[in-house]
């Protein structure tokens, strides 16, 4: 029997063995009508607000209308100068205390890995998230608080300062201890700080406010300067907000991971600044020869010669996640290092930070400790990543840790 015939017969028999579908047409149409009613009500209310706003000469109509536009637009760079919440050196213990948390051995099974304190990483790092949300810079002499409160993402601006995203705003701290913050973007839609661009600009994205199968994500670049106007540079019309990255390659091209059924790396953006792209440069799971993989934490060394990311399988019960390093020119795997998690425990939300030579890697990932429904974040330092004997140690911090200066990290 030919394979094609065997498949037809197999699927036909399998279909008969499936449980009967429970869906009812009446229920579906009822839900559809209800959603449409709600949608129309919202549009009506917004229309009334817009008319009233115009009548009273309100200046803020864009905010009310943006939900129903084709997509979000960046608000004019709301540049403001605000004092940093906390400035000046603080003394921190070598190990970050977690008083409200049970002892680590009780909270989660300990992997057989050594531990390393933040100050012993040998190079300055940014640290934020987890139970201590403040953004801090850790050097050998202790921690310096840069921002008080929740920080969603922080990256080095490559000229001595820091760019951070907190909620729907992106701010720039020109120098780590300058004591001031410049607000670059204030948005009314969900934001994601992405990366520094090779020309020194900041890349960020905004998703449509209304979630639907037509949801688009728009990418903007804004210069590191007061009053800079964000520029729209690409649109991802993917169904879900799955774009990851980007990172730039050895020839200064940008790559991004996009997941539609499977995750792949693509050159970015294409000629008309619209996703999806042409040929994939690398398919997720390629390091193992396997097929479907989730890609997270896509990043690259400053010269683009090494690309780093974490691959995992989206379905539970599959293989453990791996740190994968690729050659930034050929996109062939250089290393694949399994992280010490059961796939059942691994959540994702990986963040990867590479030293300049790609040999020292900081990886932060979320996992379920098993004793609580809240994920916790673990950070690992991997040394000698592109050698036959990589060494993995756990970093004493439960948030995201990134190298502040990849070059300094390489010299260790």
Residues that bind other proteins (CB under 8 A): 1-4, 6-15, 17-19, 21-23, 25, 27-29, 31-33, 35-36, 39, 212-213, 239-240, 260-262, 285, 291-292, 294, 314-317, 342, 344-349, 366, 368, 370, 372-373, 375
Q: Give me the sheet containing 262-268, strands edge to edge.
A: 244-248, 254-260, 262-268, 282-283
Nearer to other proteins (CB atom), residue 18 or residue 103: 18
Q: For the chain, how big is the Rg over CA atoms in Å?
A: 24
Closest distance between other proteins and the C-beta of residue 41, in Å?
Answer: 14
Rounded to whole angstroms, the Cα distance separating 43 from 37 reads 10
Closest distance between other proteins and the C-beta of residue 194, in Å?
Answer: 19
Nearer to other proteins (CB atom), residue 11 or residue 68: 11
H/E run at residue 165:
strand 162-166
Closest distance between other proteins and the C-beta of residue 131, in Å?
Answer: 18
Q: Residue 42, SS3?
A: helix
CA distance readout (Å), 385 to 155, 277, 312, 390: 22, 30, 18, 5
| Number of neighbours of residue 54 by Cβ within 10 angstroms | 10
The residues facing 312 across adjacent strands are 294
Closest distance between other proteins and the C-beta of residue 38, in Å?
Answer: 11
Closest distance between other proteins and the C-beta of residue 180, in Å?
Answer: 36
Closest distance between other proteins and the C-beta of residue 192, in Å?
Answer: 16
Hey, CA dihedral for 126, 129, 130, 132, is it positive or negative?
positive
Characterize 303-335 residue by residue with b for buried, 16 or more Cβ atoms within 10 angstroms of its Cβ, and e for exposed.
Answer: ebbbbbbbbbbeeeeeeebbbbbbbbeebebbb
Please give the torsion angle defined by the CA atoms of residues 107, 112, 118 and 121, in that order, rounded to the nearest 10 degrees.
-170
Nearer to other proteins (CB atom), residue 35 or residue 411: 35
Nearer to other proteins (CB atom), residue 88 or residue 289: 289
Peptide bond into 276 cis (omega under 30): yes
Closest distance between other proteins and the C-beta of residue 385, in Å?
Answer: 26
Q: Residue 221, SS3?
A: strand
Nearer to other proteins (CB atom), residue 116 or residue 294: 294
| Number of neighbours of residue 90 by Cβ within 10 angstroms | 11
DSSP state for residue 28 in the 8-state scheme: H
Nearer to other proteins (CB atom), residue 13 or residue 114: 13
Rounded to whole angstroms, the Cα distance separating 71 from 151 reads 25
Closest distance between other proteins and the C-beta of residue 314, in Å?
Answer: 5
Task: Output the six-digit token pair for 151.
Answer: 């920080």
Nearer to other proteins (CB atom), residue 32 or residue 149: 32
Nearer to other proteins (CB atom), residue 259 or residue 401: 259
Nearer to other proteins (CB atom), residue 158 or residue 241: 241
Closest distance between other proteins and the C-beta of residue 291, in Å?
Answer: 3
Tokens 């997270």 found at: 296
């Amino acid at each position: 029997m030919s394979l094609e015939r065997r498949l037809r017969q197999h699927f036909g028999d399998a279909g008969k063995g499936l449980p009967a579908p429970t869906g009812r047409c009446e229920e579906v149409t009822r839900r559809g009508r209800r959603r449409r009613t709600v949608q129309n009500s919202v549009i009506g209310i917004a229309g009334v607000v817009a008319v009233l706003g115009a009548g009273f000469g309100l200046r803020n109509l864009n905010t009310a209308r943006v939900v129903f536009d084709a997509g979000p637009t960046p608000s004019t760079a709301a540049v403001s100068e605000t004092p940093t919440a906390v400035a000046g050196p603080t003394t921190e213990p070598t190990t970050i205390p977690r008083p409200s948390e049970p002892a680590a051995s009780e909270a989660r099974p300990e992997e057989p890995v050594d531990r390393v304190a933040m100050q012993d990483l040998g190079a300055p790092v940014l640290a934020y998230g987890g139970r201590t949300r403040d953004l801090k810079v850790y050097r050998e002499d202790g921690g310096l608080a840069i921002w008080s409160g929740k920080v969603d993402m922080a990256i080095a601006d490559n000229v001595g300062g820091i760019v951070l995203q907190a909620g729907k705003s992106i701010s720039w701290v020109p120098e780590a201890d300058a004591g001031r913050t410049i607000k670059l973007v204030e948005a009314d839609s969900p934001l994601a700080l992405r990366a520094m661009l090779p020309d020194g600009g900041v890349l960020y994205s905004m998703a449509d406010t209304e979630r639907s199968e037509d949801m688009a994500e728009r990418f903007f670049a804004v210069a590191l300067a007061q009053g800079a106007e964000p520029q729209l540079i690409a649109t991802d019309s993917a169904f879900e907000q799955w774009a990851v990255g980007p990172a730039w390659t050895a020839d200064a091209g940008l790559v991004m991971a996009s997941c539609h059924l499977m995750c792949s790396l693509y050159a970015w953006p294409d000629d008309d600044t619209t996703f999806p792209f042409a040929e994939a440069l690398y398919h997720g799971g390629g390091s193992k020869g396997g097929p479907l993989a989730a890609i997270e934490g896509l990043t690259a060394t400053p010269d683009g010669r090494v690309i780093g990311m974490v691959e995992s399988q989206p379905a539970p019960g599959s293989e453990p996640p791996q740190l994968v390093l690729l050659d930034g020119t050929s996109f062939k795997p250089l290393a694949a290092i399994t992280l010490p998690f059961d796939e059942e425990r691994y959540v994702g939300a990986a963040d990867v930070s590479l030293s300049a030579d790609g040999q020292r890697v900081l990886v932060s990932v979320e996992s379920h400790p098993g004793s609580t429904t809240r994920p916790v974040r673990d950070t690992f330092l991997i040394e000698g990543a592109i050698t036959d004997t990589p060494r993995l140690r756990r970093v004493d911090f439960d948030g995201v840790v990134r190298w502040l200066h990849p070059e300094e990290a390489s010299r260790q």
